[in-house]
Amino acid sequence: MTVAKKRKNDERTLDELINDILAYVDKRGVVLEKSSTPQSSTLRMELHEEGLHYSIAVFQHAQGNGSCQVEVLDAGLPILKAAGRYIVGAYGMKAEEFVPGPWCSVEQIPRWSGR
């Protein structure tokens, strides 16, 4: 039997952080592009808040495969740049750039209640 490593309440995996950012921007951001066909859907949004610029892009295909990209800038400098897969949520995310700090705390970006 394996025992899962316990995490503190404020610790998140990259996939969890990205899903929380997607939900956060979806609730507060501005839609830049939204389109759909019977085969695919695309959503691009951004949010400017407290000196940070959040940018998200999600693509979903009818056969279940999709992708997403998230970028967070602080004063024009990237503090998060990640991309990965998307079906009903982000998974398999890989960060090209990640600078941890208070900006990614649970207080700043609350946990998505859909989990």
Burial of 52 by CB count in 10 Å (0-12 exposed, 13-18 middle, 19+ buried)?
Answer: middle
Provide the residue ranges of all domains of the chain, joining segments of one domain with +: 14-36+52-104
Q: Considering the chain, what is the average pLDDT of its residues?
A: 88
Task: Give the residue with greater pLDDT, 112 vs 103.
Answer: 103
Model pTM score: 0.86
pLDDT of residue 77: 95
Q: Radius of gyration (Cα) for the chain, nearest Å?
A: 15
Query: Is the confidence at residue 6, as pLDDT, over 90?
Result: no
pLDDT of residue 71: 98
Cα distance between residue 11 and residue 16, in whole Å? 9
pLDDT tens, 32-87?
Answer: 999 999 999 999 999 999 899 999 999 998 887 899 999 999 999 999 999 999 98
Cα distance between residue 67 and residue 78, in whole Å? 20
Query: Is the confidence at residue 8, as pLDDT, over 80?
Result: no
pLDDT of residue 1: 36
Residue 84's DSSP bridge partners are 68
The pLDDT-based confidence of 88 (bands split at 50, 70, 90) is: confident
Residue 80's DSSP bridge partners are 72, 98
Task: Report which of 114, 111, 112, 113 is spatially closest to residue 11, judged by C-alpha positions.
Answer: 111
